Amino acid sequence: MTDLKTIAEILKEAQIGSEMTIRGWVRTKRDSKNVVFININDGSTIHSIQVVADPTQFNEQLLHDINTGAGVAVKGILIASQGSGQAVELTAKEINLYGKADPNEFPLQPKKHSLEFLREIAHLRPRTNTFGAILRVRHALAFAIHKYFNDKGFYYLNTPIITGSDAEGAGEMFRVTTLDAQNPPLTEEGKIDYKQDFFGQETNLTVSGQLEGELGALALGKIYTFGPTFRAENSNTARHLAEFWMIEPEMAFYQLKDNMDLAEDFLKYLIQYAMQNCADELVFLEKRLLDEEKQLANEERAPMALREKLQFIIDNPFKRLTYTEAIDVLLNSKAHKKGKFKFPVEWGIDLQSEHERYLVEKEFKAPVILTNYPKDIKAFYMKQNEDGKTVGAMDVLFPGIGEIIGGSERESDYDKLLQRIEELNINKETIWWYLETRKFGSVPHSGFGLGFERLALFVTGMRNIRDVIPFPRTPKSAKF
């Protein structure tokens, strides 16, 4: 085992008087006459350690080259801090400069940079306090997801990334091909001949692991997937990515109510886990948000501070109502009567973000689970209700985010499913295997998809989804 220690470990142990080495990147350097202060962060925690160096003990050029961004190792004695703002500091005995960072070139100077600018330097932004905090929260949430499901007897199932089917039926897929784009082989009718493509058929990047997830649930009982998902929808919003991560649990024998109970419990658990395990990060992110909001008009500011908002979600039941009830609420709202909604409200519409946010933020002031949507605005696999008009869908709507989870009970009746597939002109040949599960031992089952970055947005209080994934992919942007 190595004896390298991270700053997180050193701060935890706080062995005052001991000799130790810290390794990391210089955040700031401050010279005064008799002493040089160097702040070092290694990414293991939001906290930096201040190194105190006596300039007469070190080579002048070495001290000159230690600038913001430089990679260093400092050996010294850990002492209780003389100054305010930190508990311990390190008196330097030896300094090793691994790599310089020329202050005329290094773009991350110790001043406030805009989030837009930081997106342009996504290769370096993890070295800021903000992105360090976000990435650690993201890690904690990912770990908590696996822990939650493992503790509850779910099995982690890896579903394919390359697929021949369109799970959501929305046709927003990225093609995967090795055919020559300039000169593809053609069929006799003059169409591209995918039989000659790598897989001998048309293939795409998956938009969801659900269909294969169902195969797993109908064998293992309870499964979940957690993987990358791709959507070629041209929506340049602060809540959409072309590549995002989705968690999709799927459970045999669960009906809609069980599905809702699981979704609510799961979200509360994850938020609680972040509160307990990312306390320092959340304090920092809360302050960041308050600072940012100072520039906003009153009505654009969040009604609660970040941690208060997270606690509120944990402590309060989600409001559950049907789509039809929600449309009534919207129709009877002052906002509607005064013509404040941009998009029309009537039974059958796909709810717009303004409608979802009205329900969550104005009407109920709590997360909302909407169920039983019109079948025409939902995917083919959802359980058809007796009324012939609606399906057993459920969307979880969160304040400031809108839809964070989408799911449903699944249609388990072979004939009804086939009929819906035919009505929607879905290519049966690409999902014959899916249909077979309804032929051989079909049972009721349900599941949902949680957008990982939407959750990360909510927990970190960031406003743009590009800022909660290390390297965002959006229309016209796949740098890094």
Footprint on this chain of ligand 4AD (rule: CB under 6 A): 167-168, 208, 210, 231, 240-241, 244, 246, 248, 403-407, 447-449, 451, 453-454
> Between the CA of residue 471 and those of 46, 61, 70, 131, what are the distances in Å?
21, 36, 23, 12
What is the Cα–Cα distance from 278 to 135, expressed in whole angstroms? 11
What is the Cα–Cα distance from 240 to 204, expressed in whole angstroms? 19
Would you say 133 or 396 has its CB closer to ligand 4AD? 396
Q: Name the nearest CA neighbour of 450 among 312, 248, 303, 193.
A: 248
Which residue in this structure is represented by tokens 């009746």?
413
The CA dihedral of 124, 128, 132, 134, to the nearest 10 degrees, is -100
Residue 24: exposure state from Cβ atoms within 10 A (0-12, 13-18, ≥19) = buried
Pairing mode, strands 243-252 and 222-230: antiparallel
Would you say 176 or 450 has its CB closer to ligand 4AD? 450
Residue 193 near which of ligand 4AD, Mg ion, none (CB within 5-8 Å, type-dependent):
none
Q: What is the smallest separation between the CB atom of 302 and ligand 4AD, expressed in angstroms?
A: 19
Q: What is the smallest separation between the CB atom of 59 and ligand 4AD, expressed in angstroms?
A: 51
Phi, psi of 443 (to 5 degrees): -135, 160
Residue 248 near which of ligand 4AD, Mg ion, none (CB within 5-8 Å, type-dependent):
ligand 4AD
Q: What is the smallest separation between the CB atom of 263 and Mg ion, expressed in angstroms?
A: 13
Q: Using N-to-C axis directions, what is the helix angle for 452-460 and 129-151, rounded to 10°?
A: 120
In this structure, the number of other CB atoms found within 10 A of the CB of residue 15 comes to 11
Residue whose beta carbon is closest to Mg ion: 406
Q: Could you write out the DSSP letters of every residue in 212-271?
A: HHHHHHHHHSEEEEEEEEE------STT--SEEEEEEEEEET--HHHHHHHHHHHHHHHH
Would you say 132 or 406 has its CB closer to Mg ion? 406
Residue 404 near which of ligand 4AD, Mg ion, none (CB within 5-8 Å, type-dependent):
ligand 4AD
Would you say 53 or 256 has its CB closer to ligand 4AD? 256
Would you say 78 or 382 has its CB closer to Mg ion? 382
Q: What is the smallest separation between the CB atom of 476 and Mg ion, expressed in angstroms?
A: 24
Rounded to the nearest angstrom, the gap between the alpha carbon of residue 412 and the centroid of all alpha carbons in its chain is 31
Would you say 40 or 465 has its CB closer to ligand 4AD? 465
Residue 407 near which of ligand 4AD, Mg ion, none (CB within 5-8 Å, type-dependent):
ligand 4AD
Residue 208 near which of ligand 4AD, Mg ion, none (CB within 5-8 Å, type-dependent):
ligand 4AD
Residue 240 near which of Mg ion, ligand 4AD, none (CB within 5-8 Å, type-dependent):
ligand 4AD
Would you say 128 or 385 has its CB closer to Mg ion? 385
Tell me how many residues contact Mg ion (CB under 5 A). 1
Would you say 172 or 354 has its CB closer to ligand 4AD? 172
Q: Name the nearest CA neighbour of 231 among 459, 449, 34, 425.
A: 449
Within residues 142-161, the interface with Mg ion by CB under 5 A covers: none
> Between the CA of residue 368 and those of 78, 144, 240, 361, what are the distances in Å?
51, 23, 20, 10
Residue 453 near which of ligand 4AD, Mg ion, none (CB within 5-8 Å, type-dependent):
ligand 4AD
For residue 118, give the 3-state DSSP assignment: helix
Q: What is the smallest separation between the CB atom of 418 and ligand 4AD, expressed in angstroms?
A: 19
Within residues 405-424, the interface with Mg ion by CB under 5 A covers: 406
Residue 231 near which of ligand 4AD, Mg ion, none (CB within 5-8 Å, type-dependent):
ligand 4AD
Residue 241 near which of ligand 4AD, Mg ion, none (CB within 5-8 Å, type-dependent):
ligand 4AD
Tell me the two tokens of residue 96.
């090793």
Q: What is the smallest separation between the CB atom of 373 and ligand 4AD, expressed in angstroms?
A: 11
Would you say 149 or 448 has its CB closer to ligand 4AD? 448
Buried b (16+ CB within 10 A) or exposed e, 382-408: bbbbeeeebbbbbbbbbbebbbbbbbb
CA angle 229-234-235, nearest 5°?
A: 85
Interface residue list for Mg ion (CB under 5 A):
406
